Structures are given as structure tokens and as C-alpha cells.
Chain A
Amino acid sequence: MGKLKVAVGKLNFEFPGIVASGIMDETGDSMVRMFKSGAGAVVTKSIGSKPRPGHSNPTFTEVECGYVNAMGLPNPGIDMFEKEIKTASSEGPVIGSIFGGDEKEFAYLASRMEEFGAVAVELNLSCPHAAGYGAEIGSDPEMIVSVVSEVKSSVDIPVWAKLTPNTSSIQALGRAAEKGGADAVVAINTLKAMVICPELRKPVLSNKFGGLSGPGIKPVGVRAVYDLYSSLNIPVIGVGGITCWRDAAEYIMAGASAYQMGSAIGITGPEVFNEINEGLVSFMKEHGYETVKEMVGVAHE
């Protein structure tokens, strides 16, 4: 399994698969379980300044090609989260995901995450379903520059920017993150989506719209990673619809230095990380790759 070691900037991970924010990462114990299932790192649920219940149920529903959710950024607040990070960090690298309403709030939350022992912070500039947060900030390149640079000036750990695909040019958002000093970009967050129940004549989610994740968005994510890899000099982390080693390989060949998974934990289970690790190792053996790095971006050649 030594073949699977990857680096994202100055960070080294034992395995290329990282738990995406919002899935099995609200508690220390669940993050530990994900490390034991073969995740190289875990991104926490997005944490804000205060406890927040998120939207009322229904916050989630299955569709043919994945899931549509509008959780609405539920989280226990940064103060309560110290304990969870401490529990998880003893078993592996934890990346603290944070969301704020402005630059100052992001910078404050990032410095708390650093203090708790997070190895990096991931800025949620892309949640599609929480008013005043996420994509409402992260759709504006100037705002991205401003948030990223403010966070960069307040912490020493690497800063990752998670981007929204709900835009005409994700490259413009990526370039803004790079300009602000981001150490890596993460793409993609969910695609804005809606489910209506015909018999009850209403959108199912209490928030009406939400974000689509899962296998249906994989080609969209692969394209986004491909384009970002072409236009940026910082590492790209791929996320969106990965459920098997072939999907992971696609993202890596499009240019991802590492990949994240979320929905697959519901579809297959936490063990999906180990399964993909094994699948990648056999693929690499058969095709003569010594390291994951050798595969990164090969689809561009």
C-alpha cells in the first residue's frame, strides 16, 4: 500500500482518498472510523462560529443517480468542535472545513482550527443551499481572493478552497483562489438541484432546492478538475461521484493530486475507501505506475 502515498503541497497522506466534508465527519469517533476504513485524511463537517441546526427535514432524498441534499450547514459550532478534532487527530490528518459570512469570520474559524490541530483548512466557498454562506460568497472571484488572502494571513497551515460548479467558469474561481494564496483547490461541490413529488405537488426538500451528489455528477467533476489542472499551478483535489477505483483513476488522470468521497459512504459504506485503495494498487501494478503522482494529469499528455 506504500504505492498509494500522495502529497498535496507540503502535506503527505498515506492514501489518496479523503473523506469529503459533511459525511461521517461530525464527531471524533466517526472520523476515526473513516481512518480505519482506509481514508488518507478526513475533512470535517463545515463548522461555523455558533451551533446551527441547519434546515428542517426533509434535508435529503435519493434520486436515480445519487442524492439531493440541503442540510443547511448544521454544526455544533467551533467551540464544541475542539474535542472532536482532538479525538480524530490522534488517528490521522484532519482538515477543518469552515464557513463564514465574511473574511473576518473565515479567518477567526481558521485560526481556531489550527489551534485545535487541523493540518489544513478547507474553505467552504461552495455550499449551494445556505443563505449568506458558501456559494453565495464563492461565486464572486473578488470575494474569493479577499477571503482566501485574509485566511492565509491568519494561519500557517495550508488553505484549501472548495469551489462551486454552479458557475459559468470554475477556472475563474480557481484562479481567484490561487491569486488569494490558496495552497490547493477542491472541486466540485454539489450541483444545484430540485426534486418535486407529483402526488403532493411540492418540492420535497424543506429548502426547496439542494445539491446533487453521487455518480450522476462524476463527469461534471472530472471536466472541472481537467480544466482547473490546465489553468492553475497549485494542486487540485477532485471530488464528485467517485464510487470505484476507475472513478478515482479518472479524477487523478484529469489532474487530481488526491480525491475526496462522500456519497459513496452511503452507497457502499465506509469500506469503500479500502476497496478503492486495493483496486488502485492492482491497476497501478498492471499498468506500470510506481506512484499515484505518475498518474496525475496524464490525460492531458
Chain B
Amino acid sequence: MNNVVKIIGKTRESHDTFTFDFKSDIPAKPGQFVMVWIPGVDEIPMSLSKTGEVKSITVKGIGEATNALHTMNAGDYMRIRGPYGNGFDLNGKKKILAVAGGVGAAALLPAIAETGCDTVIGARTEKEIILDKQAKDYSNNVWISTDDGTRGYHGNAVELAKEKIISEKYDLVIGCGPEIMLFFLHKACKELKVDCQLSLERHMKCGTGVCGCCVIDAERVCKDGPVFTSEQLDGLSDFGNRKRDECGCIINLR
């Protein structure tokens, strides 16, 4: 529901990414998100990067709204709605691998914190890798990949994840990142016969399952998702292929 929170901490994660901490006693699960109001600019969905009593959002400056959020500081008020969405279902899974692409690491950090699972964090280049230090606080194995080889494994996160799935034998792969990466991660998990739960993104307005503007096929990403299982993803023809803009017009992803 509606909640006005005070920012209690601002941490730089990289050249273009900050984490904002705030207190909220509303319960939240790993993989859930909040709608964050930037007065006069926009309201955008942001994954929670901490889900305890102290919660946080981790914001990469990629546009007007996120750059405006970056100007906020400790002591400022922020109006959020949520938490929304289903989150990850981590019950009963013994061995989990988290696979993050870029700022997707933010959505996975609470699950890593809760389970201590092995983690792959990939990005185009070294300076885009975020939250690896925080992941190491909870996980024994945090592997890094960069497309250009400037740090860790030289290649993309899916390629590295495939190697780890083969050698480590996981029960479940959880993932968040660019949709094309997730499309190939889903494909890899199917080939290697491991379950996955992937967190998707669409243009959102209400955040709570009313307006229907974020549908992927007939599934509302804000309410039925944002986390979808391997089986659900099999039935979603839009996944990896199409999204809709704020008018509802189709945009091809590739």
C-alpha cells in the first residue's frame, strides 16, 4: 500500500548506480518490487535489493527518472507503493544458482542473502559489475563474467552459468537481467534439465494487477509475476520476442 519512507542511507555501487536504504515494516519477499514516485518526473517499478526491516532499492541511472532519483539523499522523503508481485519461491530448494545480468543483481540479492546460494554476476565490462561484494557476504561462490574479459570469466553470464550448472548440479536457477539474457538462460536451463525462475520486466502503470498494461501474453507481470517458472515461460510467446510501449503498441525485442 501507500507508504512514505525516509531515506536513511545512500551508497555508491558503481559509476552510475546507487543504493538507497529506508525503513519499512511492511513484509517483503525476495524478488518483489515497489513503485517509486519521483515527484514531477515519473513513478517507476524498482526491485527491492534488501527485504528486511531495512529495505533498499538499487538504482542505475539510465534515464530521466532514475537520474532524478540519484539526486535524492539521506533524510529525503520518498513515496513508495508495494511491495508488489509474487517474488521467488525458494521453499524446499536445496541447491540454488543465482544468475544476474548487470543491475539485475539488485533483484537477486535478497534471495542470495536468504539462501546463501552460489551466484553468477555478469556485465558487459568490469565497471558495470555491481553488488558482488554484498553477495560475497552471504555466498561462498560468487563468480563474475564480463563480455569483454576485463574481469573474471571472458564471456556472458549465461555461458558461465551453463558451465557451473554442469559441474555443480543445481536444483534451481533464479535469474534477473536483460530479457535476451533471460531468454537464453531459460533455454540453457531446459537443455540442462534444471528448473528456473526468472524475473521479467514490462512497462508498468498500476503495479497491482488492475490496468493490464504490463501483460506478457495474458500474464500480468506486476501481479502474476514478475517471477515466472520455466514451465510458465514455455507458454509465453512474448517472452524474449515482444513487449508493449506505454500506448500498448507492440515493440519487437529482436
Contacts and interface: CB of A to CB of B under 8 A. Distances in A.
Interface string B206-220: 111111110101101
Nearest to B205: A59
A32 B249 CA distance: 18
A67 B218 contact: no
Contacts of B137: none
B212 A71 contact: no
B62 interface: no
Interface in A1-53: 22-27, 29-30, 32-33, 45, 51-53
Chain B CB within 10 A, most for which of A32, A57, A58:
A57
Interface size range on A against B: 35 or more
Contacts of B209: 265-266, 269
Interface in A48-70: 51-54, 56-63, 67, 69
Nearest to B245: A53
A62 B217 CA distance: 26
A76 B248 contact: yes
A242 to B, nearest CB: 14
Contacts of B42: 56-58
Interface in A224-259: none
B217 A29 contact: yes
A197 B39 CA distance: 10
How would you classify the secondary structure of chain B's contact residues: helix, strand, loop or mixed?
Answer: loop
Interface string B177-216: 0000000000000000000000000000111111111010
A67 B212 contact: no
B168 interface: no
Given A29-B217, A57-B43, A23 B79 contact: no
Contacts of B217: 29
A59 B37 CA distance: 11
Given A57-B42, A202-B39, A265 B215 contact: no
B218 A262 contact: no
A219 interface: no
A80 B250 CA distance: 9
A204 interface: yes
Contacts of B2: 61-63
B113 interface: no
A260 to B, nearest CB: 14
Contact of B218 (A29, A75, A77): A29
A194 to B, nearest CB: 14
Contact of B247 (A23, A32, A58, A75): A75
B211 A23 contact: yes
Contacts of A22: 211
Contacts of A75: 247-248
Interface in A189-224: 197-200, 202, 204
Contacts of A24: 210-212, 215, 220
B81 interface: yes
Given A32-B218, A54-B246, A62-B1, A25 B212 contact: yes
B244 interface: yes
A33 B224 CA distance: 13
Nearest to B45: A57
Interface in B6-55: 35, 37, 39-44
Contacts of B223: 266, 269
Nearest to B222: A266
Contacts of A23: 210-212
A263 interface: yes
A74 interface: yes
A124 to B, nearest CB: 16
B90 interface: no
Contacts of A59: 43, 205-206
Nearest to B237: A29
Given A29-B218, A30-B218, A80-B249, A74 B213 contact: yes
Nearest to B204: A57
A69 B212 CA distance: 13
A63 B221 CA distance: 22
B210 A61 contact: no
Nearest to B249: A76
A45 B244 CA distance: 15
A74 B205 CA distance: 11
A29 B43 CA distance: 26
A22 B210 CA distance: 9
A67 B205 contact: no
11 contacts: A25-B212, A29-B215, A30-B212, A59-B43, A60-B205, A62-B1, A63-B2, A76-B248, A200-B4, A200-B77, A204-B37
Interface of A: 22-27, 29-30, 32-33, 45, 51-54, 56-63, 67, 69, 71, 74-77, 80, 197-200, 202, 204, 262-263, 265-266, 269
Given A24-B210, A26-B213, A51-B247, 11 more contacts: A22-B211, A33-B218, A51-B249, A56-B41, A62-B1, A69-B206, A76-B250, A80-B248, A199-B77, A199-B79, A269-B209
